[in-house]
């Protein structure tokens, strides 16, 4: 997991023709801290998050670099390179990244996203032409060096994390006032720690099933999950802490349900022919890039222009 690199890119429902060479474009180099660049970056990152289907909402840690190509009527094409960091909001929550708290613990995902966006600072009109992200997680050696006794991230698909998710979900089902059982969908995070006994910490997504709680069901894994568009869904954080003595196991769980998904409009293909240059090679000439850092994470070395 520590060496895993994820590449995410979207170009959906759009056909774009890139015909100009970068050398013929009259780029300008604004500050990465300028308000219009920050606004364009916010819109671009919200679009990136809206197109992601799994994982957590990405937050803007820093605007690394920007090239601007002024257009007519106050529009500009911005070529943005953004340093991003996972937040605590799951992508299914539907939240904007500014509504979410950054993750600061070791093991979180981080990386860079590139986006090409047409943006007008006065009218706030925008269109994102393309975007892509490269994400990775902290290496195990860095985590061990920074905090040898801290919870250690592991592969969420491991049996130990799966069992902890099921055990904590059973507690939620037993104590919640919901009429239907919730089933486990996906374990998204897993950490383990040893103090005086093994401790496990998990995050996982849940979805409402077709099984009512009355009469009780002994094995909820046999309960079919309701379709996503009709079911309640949520994210749970659970833990099982064993203090090394019989009957000293502590089970905790907290689940937050997501808003119900909005109906999707029918898909329609749009063809947009726009002469835009490809993403510039190299860095901009701005002395004000990279921009300000929103949050420092111990052990995370941000990219440099050098």
* Per-residue pLDDT at 6 exceeds 50: no
> What does the pLDDT read at residue 17?
42
Angle at 244 between CA 239 and CA 248, to 5 degrees: 60
Average pLDDT over residues 133-141: 80
* Per-residue pLDDT at 23 exceeds 50: no
Task: Sketch out the chain's domains with CATH numbers.
Answer: 151-258 (3.10.450.10)
User: Band of the pLDDT at 213, cuts 50, 70, 90?
Assistant: very high
> What does the pLDDT read at residue 146?
67
Are the CB atoms for 184 and 172 separated by under 8 Å? no
* Per-residue pLDDT at 209 exceeds 80: yes
> What does the pLDDT read at residue 8?
43
175 contact partners, CB below 8 Å, separation of at least 6: none
Q: Looking at residue 211, what DSSP letter applies?
A: E
What is the CB neighbour count within 10 angstroms for residue 85? 24
pLDDT-above-70 percentage for the chain: 82
Separation between Cα atoms, residue 235 and residue 158, nearest integer Å? 19
> What does the pLDDT read at residue 290?
97
User: Band of the pLDDT at 126, cuts 50, 70, 90?
Assistant: very high
Beta bridge partners of 234: 206, 257
Which residue would you say has higher pLDDT here, 22 or 295? 295
> What does the pLDDT read at residue 196?
77
* Per-residue pLDDT at 298 exceeds 90: no
> What does the pLDDT read at residue 245?
66
* Per-residue pLDDT at 247 exceeds 70: no
Q: What mean pLDDT value characterizes the chain?
A: 86
Q: Where are the beta strands (DSSP E) in 121-260?
A: 126-137, 152-153, 180-194, 198-212, 233-242, 249-257
* Per-residue pLDDT at 172 exceeds 50: yes
Average pLDDT over residues 231-237: 95
Considering only CA atoms, give the Rg of the chain: 23
* Per-residue pLDDT at 10 exceeds 70: no
Which residue would you say has higher pLDDT here, 69 or 22? 69
Separation between Cα atoms, residue 157 and residue 189, nearest integer Å? 9
Segment among 34-38, 209-213, 216-220 with least mean pLDDT: 216-220
Of 139, 140, 141, 239, residue with least CA distance to 198: 239
pLDDT digit string (tens) for 261-276?
666 655 544 455 567 8
H, E, C per residue of 6-60: EEEEECCCEECCCCCCHHHCCCECCCCCCHHHHHHHHHHHHHHHHHCCCCEEEEE
Average pLDDT over residues 133-140: 83
CA 289 to chain centre: 24
User: Band of the pLDDT at 228, cuts 50, 70, 90?
Assistant: confident
* Per-residue pLDDT at 9 exceeds 70: no
> What does the pLDDT read at residue 2?
42
> What does the pLDDT read at residue 21?
40
> What does the pLDDT read at residue 5?
46
> What does the pLDDT read at residue 3?
42
Are the CB atoms for 103 and 89 separated by under 8 Å? no
User: Band of the pLDDT at 108, cuts 50, 70, 90?
Assistant: confident
User: Which of helix, strand or coil describes residue 30?
Assistant: coil
* Per-residue pLDDT at 70 exceeds 70: yes
């Amino acid at each position: 997991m520590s060496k895993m690199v994820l590449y995410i890119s979207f170009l959906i429902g759009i056909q774009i023709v890139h015909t100009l060479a970068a050398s013929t474009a009259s780029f300008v180099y604004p500050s990465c801290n300028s308000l219009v660049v920050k606004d364009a970056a916010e819109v671009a990152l919200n679009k990136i998050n809206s197109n992601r289907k799994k994982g957590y909402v990405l937050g803007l840690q820093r605007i690394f670099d920007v090239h601007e190509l002024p257009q007519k009527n106050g529009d500009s094409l911005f070529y943005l390179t953004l340093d991003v960091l996972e937040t605590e909001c799951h992508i299914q929550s539907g939240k904007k990244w500014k509504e979410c708290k950054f993750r600061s613990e070791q093991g979180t995902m981080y990386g860079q996203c590139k986006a090409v966006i047409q943006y007008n600072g006065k009218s706030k009109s925008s269109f994102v032409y393309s975007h892509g992200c490269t994400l990775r997680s902290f290496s195990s050696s860095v985590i061990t060096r920074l905090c040898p006794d801290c919870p250690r991230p592991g592969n969420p698909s491991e049996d130990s994390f799966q069992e902890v998710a099921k055990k904590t979900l059973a507690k939620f089902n037993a104590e919640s006032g919901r009429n239907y059982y919730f089933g486990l969908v996906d374990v998204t995070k897993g950490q383990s720690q040893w103090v005086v006994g093994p401790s496990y910490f998990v995050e996982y997504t849940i979805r409402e099933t077709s099984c009512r709680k009355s009469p009780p069901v002994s094995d909820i894994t046999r309960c079919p999950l309701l379709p996503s568009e009709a079911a309640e869904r949520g994210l749970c954080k659970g833990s099982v802490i064993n203090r090394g003595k019989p009957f000293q196991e502590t089970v905790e769980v907290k689940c937050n349900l997501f808003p119900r998904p909005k109906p999707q409009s029918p898909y329609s293909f749009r063809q947009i022919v726009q002469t835009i240059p490809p993403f510039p090679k190299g860095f901009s000439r701005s002395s004000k890039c990279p921009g300000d850092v929103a949050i420092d994470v111990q052990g995370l070395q941000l990219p440099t222009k050098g």
